[in-house]
Structures are given as C-alpha cells and as structure tokens.
Structure 1
Amino acid sequence: MSETINLPHKPNAPLSYRLVPGQGPLSTTHLVVYLNGLIGSQSIWNATIEDLQRRWGEEDEDGRSAAAANNNNYPALLTYDRYGQGGSARDPADDQRGGSHDIEEVVADLHALVREIWRTKITKAPSDEGQTPKLVFVANSIGCVVGRLYAQTYPGAAAALLLLDSNMANSDQVSLFPDPDAPDFDPCCLPPDSSASDLRRARAGYAAHFGPWAPNAEHLDRRTVASLLPLAEAPALRGEPWITVVGHDPEVFADEGLRGSLRVPRGLTDMFVNPVWARYNEGLARLTSRDRALGPVVAAGCGHFVQKDDPGLVAGLTDQLLRKIEAEGAA
C-alpha cells in the first residue's frame, strides 16, 4: 500500500511512495530504491518485490529458509512516483521554469526523498544530521539515467546499480536512423523489409515519442541529459559501485516496435537501433572496475520493460547484488 510524504523543500506537493521494511544489518546501512521509467508508475515494481520476498522466505534443500541462510539480512525497499507521475503531485518547480523541470531537479528531489525516508521512517532520528544510507538503485529506462546521475552527483552514495535497458542518455533517438531526405542518402543501405517512407515515418515517430524534447505527463524536460552524460562509459563512478547492466532481447524489442503504434519494420530496428543500444550497454558496464561489473546481460524474452516481462530475473539480480554487498561488509 502506497503512502504520501511531503519533502521539506516542496512542502505542499506530496510524493507517493511505498516502503517495504528490511531486516538485519543491511537494513541499518543500505536502502534499495526503484527508479521508474518515463511511462507508468511505481506499481510496475510490485511483482519484482513479491518475487524478492518469496526468495527471502523460501526454504533451501536442507529445510532452512533463504532469509535464515542469509542471516535475515536485507535492506528496506523503496518505490516512489516522481513528481508528475502516478499518485504524486505535479512538481512545483514547473511553475517557476516555464512548465517543466529537468533531470537535475529530479536527482535533487530523490536525494531529499532518501534523506527524509531514512530519517522519519527507518532510523527515526530527531534531525537529518545522522547517517545516510548506501543506496542500491534498481532502475529502468530513464530511471537508469537518474540513478547514474545521482551516483555521479553524490560520489560514493551508490553501493550498487542494476540498470535495466537504460535510456541512451547521449542520443536524441531520432539520429539513430539515417535521414532519407539528406542529399547523400543511399536507399541501398535499407534492409529488405523497409523503404525510405518507412524510415521517414520511423524518425517522425521516434521524435514524437522518444525525443528529449517530446512532451510527457511528468513534465520532465530531458534536453540537458546528453550534455550531462555525453558518454556511456565515462566518467567512471567514484567509489566503484557494483554495476549490473541488462539489455532487452533484440528480437522481442524489434517485434514490439513492429506491433506498436509506431509500426517500425523489424529490419530498421535490427539495423539501426539494437546494435547501437548494445554498444551503449557495453559502455555502462565500464563505469566501474571490471571485477565489480556484470553484463551486459541480455534479458531473454524481454522487451524494454524488463521488470514487467521477467520480474524473477530482476529479483534474482537484485539479490545477487545484495549478497555481494553483504559479503564485502563481512570481509
């Protein structure tokens, strides 16, 4: 069940959140934060959380529960709707900035939310001067950009990041495709199932739905993202967090593009989108040291919303990161 919280710097704009309590030592030092994409709300994480709870309660071959085998040691889990999403109010910053807010505003709001949740709901500290948690981000799409920028803005704050089909922060999405109206365009470069007309329509559809300038219900202006994060692999994140990078199944993603409202031929997605995205994911895995990175992992059978298509995979990879953090703390 979700609740609402009012942040000190935006006291008249409630945020909707859900907090699942943790247990054991990790619950006093770490917090798992789920970061939504641009579409949908925090409820998209419910199935993943339920799977995690089953894992922590199920019995192993010797009759012991997995939670008991792990010393009942896991952090609290926090989902929330950003301002303008789901059950949360519109961002008050919109009225001061021409009707929208940027990604840095989102990161600042997240920092305030984490501090307020940690203080009022977990540690019950009388002031915000106490310890702040190490964060484990489980993120999808633009949420991956939020988590990465947070880790870059607050060095050492993120203990781990699970990046599920991250938005390509350095791309406007449209220029993934060649321009069929450019003087040097060669139609011979197109796959057999596509025409110049298909290409023109794909570019227009991507511009309208995915371009950084495209309007959205959240009123999040993403036009500054590419300048903030121009490279997939740099700058390396200080503190060397654990990073797991997961990408969509290219065949499923191409099918979704064909069946969806944009009706992008599979050949265009396979030729111009999937390979670039795969290379971007390879770069993300280099944001930390090699021995602390996993991936890119291809989520078989999953489209862009990996947590919806395979919540068990996301739960398993989250638990894997938590066990690495636990082992590191015990070393």
Structure 2
Amino acid sequence: MEDGTVYLDHKPNAGLRYTYISNAPADFSENLDTSPSSSHPVLLVFLNGLMLPQIGWRPTLEALIQNVQDKNQSRPYMLSYDRYGQGDSDPDPLDAVPGAEKGHAHDARDAVKDLHQLISHFVSKKLNLPLSTPSATSSSPSQPAIILVANSIGAAIARLYAYEYPNTVSGILLLDSIISNTDFTSLFPDVDAPSFDPSTLPPGITSDQVRTARENYTAIFHPSVPNKEGLSRRNLASLLPSPSEPSLVGPGGKGPRLTVVGHDPETFAEQGLVGSMQTPVEITKTYVQPVWGRYNEGLLGITGEERTRGVVVAKGCGHFIQRDDPDFVVGEIVSLVGLMEADMKGRGKN
C-alpha cells in the first residue's frame, strides 16, 4: 500500500494525496515486476463524498486485499485520493485565481478533469500502459478495465466522468449517491407559506418540526452553501438534472456494469436523529427517504437494463456505507469485478 503525493501536469504546484495498491502480491519488493498480468488489468478508483475523505476507504481497501488473498486470487489495482481542498491534499489552484468567488471557484466538472489527469498519470506511470482512447465498438487491449466506486457526491463525479470520457469506464458502484437535482430545501413543505394547510401533516409531525428540519437542511445542504473543500454544488442540478440521464457508454459500446446501493432507511433515520441535524426519525422517513428511494431507482436508467441488478439496500448502513460496513462494499466490488471479467472474456472471443 503506497501513500504519496502527486503533482499533476495541469496543476503542477498543488499536491494530491493518494493511496495506491498494485496488483502484485502483498510482499512485493521494489525489484518485482508489477506489470499487468493480463491484457485488461482492473483498476478500482474510489471517489469520496464531501465529508469523508479518502481515509474512509482504508478499511475497504484492507478488507479487499485480505479477501483476494484468502481466495488466492490476483487483486486489482486500487487508487483512492483526496480531491483538491480535501483531506491532506492542497487547495485547488482555481480557488486562488484573482477574483475567484470563495467556495464556488471549482465544481464537479473541474473534479472530473482532475480525475482524468490522475487516472491517466497512474495508467502511464504505475501500470506502464500507453495512453489511448478506446473506440465506441472496441476497447484498446492496453487499457485497464476501470471501476469507479463512489459515495455521495463522488457518485455525481463518477457519472459525469463516464459521460465525458465514453468507452473508458467498465463498471460503476454507487454508494448512496447524492440527490443531484434537489436543493434539499424543497424536500420539505414550507409550513409558513400562506397556502399551507397544517391538516396535511402526517400524524405525530408538527409544523415546528418540519420548519426546523427545512432550515437545518437548507443551512447545510443547499447547493449555494460553500463547503470546506470548496467544491461548488451550485450548478450540480443543471449538470445532472435527471437521475437516469445522461445515459453512459462503456467499452464495447455497451453501458457500464452498474450497482446502485442505497442506505438502510431505518439506520439513516436513526443517525439523523443523533447527529448534528437532530432530525426526528419520522421527518426523515416522511420527507427525505421517499425522494432518495425514487432517485436511486432512477439511477438504474443510466445504463442498459441488463447491465444492472436493481437497487441494493445496505442493511445497517447510513449514508457513509464504506464506513458502516466495509465488508459489504467488498462483496459488491467482488461481484462487479466478476461480471466485468466475464464481459472481457466475451469480448475477447468476438
């Protein structure tokens, strides 16, 4: 497991912290040949949310290494990183441009460009593969099979990446994707609007509770609110206005393999009660969960129907599924890798 800092060509004065794991055995040495063992090595790239940086993936990485070792299997290449302004990485240079608006100087599109540069760097420098762009009908034999494993806003970045760089992403694992097309305020009724009828509230829920939840969600999650990372969400709804669009194309002209994972509604609601939001369980179940559930179902539309298996619920997990149950995430990764390997063998016979 290699922890380091990389300086990418397009932002040479800002360092990105990363963790990289080769597919070589755990006891490999500097002199061991770690070139790809097949024409299609698998590269897992882990994409963080806003509030849990790359360190949150460490238990998953360790559990995955142990999983493949126990099965005496070759492990995939793995890469996690902190985006600019997050965790141990340097601030995004775009934030320091004269006249830049604080908290909104870089957005998901910039994060996608950074991710492409990062993947290109590691494919070239670590996997020792020449860089080429696969066509719509066939993947280059020198390209790795890329799986994006993403949580929260990382899921939005994964979708945008696969769209901006078609034919390159073979699989996507979305772990409790952000609802990209909401302002979060409108999840709740405006109980102070003249037209609001208090009798429409479900039994046990008061206007004061709804008002407080609406205010708290607005103060923290509204797209106009800056975050510590400086990653603007202000235009996210225009970039991804629908959960089912844009449709994505992976290697061979087919949609990428896709697994959509949602949080456990009970656990999520309970965590919202004890966390900083202090949102009553019934408020979360009534106003937040239904919207999130429909959004997850909509995400299935970004690939072909035969390329996904429906929405999977991570039992006992809240929003940060990789933190609550790393072994569950490993199981989903192993399943996705297996499907992708079958795809690659199938393309090899054609």
Q: TM-score, normalised by structure 1?
A: 0.92
Instruction: Provide the C-alpha distance between the structure 2 equivalents of 1:175 and 1:25, rounded to a whole number of angstroms.
Output: 51
2:50 is matched with which residue? Answer: 38
Equivalent position of 1:211 in the other structure: 222
- Separation in structure 2 between the aligned mates of residue 188 and residue 212 of structure 1, nearest angstrom: 30
Matched residues in 1 for 2:78 and 2:307: separation?
A: 22
CA distance in 1 between counterparts of 2:263 and 2:334 reads 20
For 1:49, which of 61, 71, 76 is the aligned residue? 61
1:146 equivalenced with 2:126 (yes/no) = no
More deviation, 283-292/298-307: 283-292
Q: Alignment partner of 2:127: what SS?
A: helix
Residue in 1 that maps onto 2:20? 19
Question: Which of 108, 112, 123 is the aligned partner of 2:113?
Answer: 108
Corresponding residue number in structure 1 for 2:136 = none
> CA 1:90 to 1:26, structure 2 compared with 1: closer, same or farther past 3 Å?
farther
- Which whole-Å CA distance do the structure 2 matches of 1:235 and 1:86 have between them? 30
Secondary structure at the residue paired with 2:301? coil
1:247-266 to 2 correspondences below 5 Å? 247-266=262-281
CA distance in 1, matches of 2:143, 2:193: 53
**Aligned-pair distance for 1:191?**
3.1
Structure 2 Cα separation of the partners of residues 52 and 314 of structure 1: 9
Alpha carbon RMSD of aligned pairs, Å?
1.7
CA distance in 2, matches of 1:119, 1:133: 11
Q: 1:301 aligns with which of 316, 322, 329?
A: 316
Give the Cα separation in 2 of the matches to 1:98 and 1:11: 22
Q: Is the 8 A contact 1:27 1:75 kept in 2?
A: no
Q: Which runs of 4 or more aligned residues in structure 1 lie more than 6 Å from their structure 2 counterparts after TM superposition?
A: none
- Cα distance in 2 between the residues matched to 1:30 and 1:52: 14
**Amino-acid identity (%):** 45
**Is 1:123 the counterpart of 2:138 in the alignment?**
no
Give 1:260 shift. Answer: 1.4
1:287-326 map, 5 Å: 287-326=302-341
Q: Secondary structure at the match of 1:274?
A: helix
- Asked whether the equivalents of residues 44 and 149 of structure 2 are also in contact (C-alpha less than 8 Å), the reply is yes
Q: Is the 8 A contact 1:35 1:79 kept in 2?
A: yes
The residue matched to 1:280 in structure 2 has which SS? Answer: helix
Structure 2 vs 1, CA of residues 202 and 26 (structure 1 numbering), >3 Å: closer, same or farther?
Answer: farther
- Tell me the alpha carbon deviations over residues 153-190 of structure 1, each in whole angstroms, 9 at most, x when there is no partner: 11111100000000001111111111111122122232
Residues of 2 paired with 1:256 and 1:188: CA distance? 28
| Structure 2 equivalent of residue 62 of structure 1 | none
CA apart distance, 1:193: 3.4
Q: Separation in 2 of the partners of 1:2 and 1:189?
A: 54
2:206 aligned with 1:191: no
Gapped regions of structure 1 (runs ≥ 5): 59-64
Show the counterpart of 2:8: 7
Letter in 1 for 2:92: D
Once the 2 structures are TM-superposed, how far is the Cα of residue 207 of structure 1 from its aligned partner? 1.1
Q: Deviations over 1:173-216 (max 9, x none)?
A: 11111111112212223233322111111111111111111121
Cα distance 1:208–1:269, how it changes in 2: closer, same or farther (>3 A)? same
Distance in 2 between residues matched to 1:26 and 1:177, nearest whole Å: 51
Match in the other structure for 2:33: none
Report whether the alignment pairs 1:269 with 2:284.
yes
Deviation of 1:143 (Å): 0.3
Q: How many residues align?
A: 318
CA distance in 2 between counterparts of 1:53 and 1:26 reads 19
In structure 2, the partner of 1:61 is: none
Matched, 1:93 2:91: no
**What displacement does 1:19 show?**
0.5
Kept in 2: contact 1:27–1:76 (CA 8 A): no
Q: 8 Å contact 2:40–2:143 — kept in the other structure?
A: no
Residue by residue over 1:113-164, the C-alpha shift from the partner in whole angstroms, topping out at 9 and shown as x without a partner, is 1101111122176xx5695533200000000000011011111111000000
> For residues 188 and 300 of structure 1, what CA distance do their matches in structure 2 show?
34
Q: Is the 8 A contact 1:254 1:269 kept in 2?
A: yes
